[in-house]
Structure 1
Amino acid sequence: MDNIYGSVESSDSQLFRTEECRAMLLRHRNRIEYLLDNLKLKFDDCEPTRYFTCSNPHCRHFRNSLVFSYYQTVRCHRCKRLMDTETTLPLSGAEDGEVFVKVPARFIISDDLQVMPPFTSRSSSLVKNLGFTGWNSIEELTVNVGVDEVLKLLMCSFVSKMPLTETLLKHEPLPELSNENVDQEIYVESRILGDATNEEEEKISVKLIVSKSRKMVCYAEAGEEFVNLLFSFLTLPLGFIVKQMQDNSMKGCIGQLYKSVQDLDEQCLKSNNHKKMLVSPKLLPGFGYKNHPLGIEEASYRLAVDTTLIHSNKQAKSVEFIDPKSHCNKDDTALGFLKGPVMFMITDSVST
């Protein structure tokens, strides 16, 4: 993933469809960022959330929608002026200060990140399965959790079944896998990405350069469609990734955290809608593209009652965002981040 990120950083800006495409990938924004602003610990260093409207007040309302942009360099679809007037986004549910969990509340969290309320049959069973025999066999510690611990906990959750132990008891990090030299005897093989049983599904052709003796990919050659897919990995919400992999074994325990959210009821969470934000997350409007092979959807927003931004007697019912990938041409909204046609070389460590 760091190589994909580095490839976006180092790629010529002329390869991207608009200037904003690189910013979308390098400084991705979350569909629920208005809720994450209420987190006690801010574990990213992104700029504060900003929204922009057209400087022409007649363009701020269109087809019963309020029209916004994430970037002040995007041009309005209607008058072609810059969307450079900073404003606020009047979203329903963004003002109460809570994130996902009702407050006040306390939870039991196991070392493999199972989360549950205390004093339930599940929590009693968990304690029993841990071999708890009495207070003489355990000790109680109080630790302070800061940004460094949060980031390490996130990373450990992908590779360890004991991320609390690895993070909060200061255990040594897990050893990295060693690199092996790749045999230079190679041959060329073409592969099609997609399900061969579905003839109507679009396919992406990828040419693999493979070591004959070691049966390892040395590098691949592919067009912008495949690289759009790779780059889009940087925009995928974590909950979507875990949901897609639920039927497969995962080395770490992030799947346990996902299942814990599924099992929590509305007595613990703010609402069923907040649960859906976590277990079935969607992309921010404009961050997807048509026929994305992974099928992730874009979100829509519910407006709070606010008519101050509308230069009209009509009441807005929804929010519309100008697509940063195609703000100069509405017919291009189905396309990805890169211009085409162009060919790329992709290494097995996913640098392009």
Structure 2
Amino acid sequence: MAAAEEVKFSLKVVMIKGRNKVLYAEIDSDFADVILSFLTFPLGTIARLFIKHYGNTPILGSLNSLYAGLFNLDGSHFGTEAGRLMLLNPRNASQFLCSTLKLQIDDTPPIKFFACRTHKCVSVYYKMRCLCPDSTINEIWIDDFFQYLFRSGNGSVFTAKTTTFVLTDDLEMLINSPASIFQILRRNFIEDANTLEEKTLIVGLKEIMELLKASLVSKTPLTDMVLPTRTMAATLDGRTKYIAPAKYESDALPRTRTQTSQNMSSNSKKINVKAFVQKSSSRVLLAQSRHDFIDFLFSMLTIPLGRVQFLLGENTCGGSIHNLYRSISNSETANYMKATTRLLEPLLPQGYLSLNRIFSLKEELPPSHYKGILGPLPIPAKSWIDPKGKGSFVKEARTLFVVTDDLVVSTPSSISIISTLNQMKIPISDVEERELGIGMEEASSILQASLTSTYALTNGLKPFLKRQPKQEK
């Protein structure tokens, strides 16, 4: 397969003359599959790709800083080194399916499977060791996964191979038909076809990355991809509006699907957090917590973007990705798609569920057979080793952690806390402590704020601070 940098698409776009705006683009099934695969990406993968391509500049709310804090946190706080690697390079449960895409922007190493010599213990991480007398680890060939890969190798992934689509500027994907074209024209009040012009563009990895970025922060991601001179201005404008609000005015809870009983997590216990709040502005300066809240925050990086959309509903981000998500279930478009459940309700890979989870998440089933010399041989379910160690990524210990407003996790330092207060020019008398229990509502609000704001704790917890009595001195 060609390197990602070498793959190119020919894209025909229709633009409105004199307005520097793309009306729509005609895309084939290969291009459609690539952009639909965005929904299978874990949030941690998106954060890592953005850091790789754009540096540490905040692009998607507080995800960059959450990922950076994870990267810098000492490995001794994690149950296993494999668990830390799972968070830094979260795997895509649809990785084998996505490996047949014409262009792959997710460079996460492919999954390999390992077993001890007796094959009584199986792992997806080489460094995991079992308790068998002979714990020599050998790579094994998983029969189920590769049969599935070969069966799916018909040249298409999520869409019918011969189908073409039109992609609007705000990422609505429609079947390429006269009805769709007239719908787009009417929606944009286009009366005279002479006001439109066509251009054919060649796009590759750089442009696809621009489209992924813009889909999460812009209302016109296609225009931002096609017109590079507009990209920076559009992105900066998007950040101003969606990522870094100067005021904290919204006290409303996010409208989420997670508040229905069918989506409630089986883990109803609330996680206790102590928030330090500036009284004059209601800004959360930092939070103090134990391992369980940190484990929850880091676990957000493992959630696929499509599952985030499923949990939070529309307006998850300040961009347009929800339009792409919604297009998949469109009655007409759905007839030309396949594997839609992997886009609308993507699973976590096997072994990724944490004991400290709050959201209703599901893992894929582990492979049931490996390829032996004489044919497929069964893998008992109890053979699989939990790569995290004891059910959670962050080790349970008598350790306190500090979380900043933009979700940087660290261990407490009196000097850094005093320095922060000095830099922000906040008097001690203006700071109060508040105790909070983080459950489903609070977790949903934090997740949504982490995607749209560099004030994730403030915007995520402010609706709940008013419900809690102030701590008496």
TM-score (norm 1): 0.80
Q: Percent same amino acid at aligned positions?
A: 27
CA distance, structure 1, for counterparts of residue 245 and residue 188 of structure 2: 39
Preserved CA contact (<8 Å) 2:274 2:289: yes
Residues 1-352 of structure 1: pairs in structure 2 closer than 5 A:
1-47=63-109, 49-56=110-117, 58-59=118-119, 68-76=122-130, 78-79=132-133, 81-88=135-142, 90-91=144-145, 92-95=147-150, 96-97=152-153, 98-119=156-177, 121-170=179-228, 171-173=230-232, 174-175=235-236, 176-177=239-240, 201-246=268-313, 250-263=317-330, 267-270=335-338, 274-290=339-355, 292-300=357-365, 308-309=371-372, 321-326=384-389, 332-333=390-391, 335-352=392-409
* Stretches of structure 1 lacking an aligned partner (at least 5 in a row): 61-66, 183-193, 327-331
**Contact kept in structure 1, 2:371 and 2:377, CA below 8 Å:** no
Structure 1's 81 and 320: CA in aligned 2 closer, same or farther, altered over 3 A? closer
* Post-superposition offset of 1:149: 1.3
Please give the alpha-carbon distance, in whole angstroms, between the structure 2 residues aligned to 1:129 and 1:319: 56
Supply the distance in 1 between the matched residues of 2:320 and 2:91 (Cα, whole angstroms).
25
The structural deviation recorded for 1:122 is 4.6
Structure having the higher helix fraction is 2
Counterpart residue type for residue 141 of structure 2: T
Secondary structure, in 3 states, of the residue corresponding to 1:336? coil
- Paired residues of 1:50 and 1:86 also in contact (CA < 8 A): no
1:348 Cα deviation after fit: 0.4
Say whether the 8 Å CA contact 2:299–2:357 is kept in structure 1. no
CA distance in 2, matches of 1:149, 1:159: 15
* Deviates further, 278-287 or 308-317: 308-317
Partner in structure 2 of residue 186 of structure 1: none
**Is contact 1:28–1:234 with CA below 8 Å preserved after alignment?**
yes
For residues 155 and 32 of structure 1, the distance between their equivalents in structure 2, rounded to whole angstroms, comes to 21
What root-mean-square deviation, in Å, do the aligned CA atoms of Structure 1 and Structure 2 show?
3.1
Change (3 A) 1:179 1:251: closer
**Structure 2 unpaired stretches of 5+:** 1-62, 248-257, 410-473
Provide the C-alpha distance between the structure 2 equivalents of 1:320 and 1:140, rounded to a whole number of angstroms: 58
Amino acid at match of 2:67: Y
Per the alignment, do residues 319 and 142 of structure 1 end up closer, same or farther by CA in structure 2, a change over 3 Å counting? farther
Quick one: distance in 2 between partners of 1:181 and 1:168?
30
Q: Contact between 1:300 and 1:319, CA under 8 Å: does it hold in 2?
A: no
In structure 2, C-alpha distance between the alignment counterparts of 1:114 and 1:180, rounded to whole Å: 27
Deviations 1:183-210 (CA, angstroms, capped at 9, x unpaired): xxxxxxxxxxx99xx9x93111111111
1:17 Cα deviation after fit: 0.3
For these two proteins, the number of residue pairs brought into alignment is 319
Matched residue of 1:201: which SS? coil
Q: Is the CA contact 1:285–1:321 (under 8 Å) kept in the aligned structure 2?
A: no
Q: Structure 1's 180 and 262: CA in aligned 2 closer, same or farther, altered over 3 A?
A: closer
Conserved 8 A contact 2:83-2:388: yes
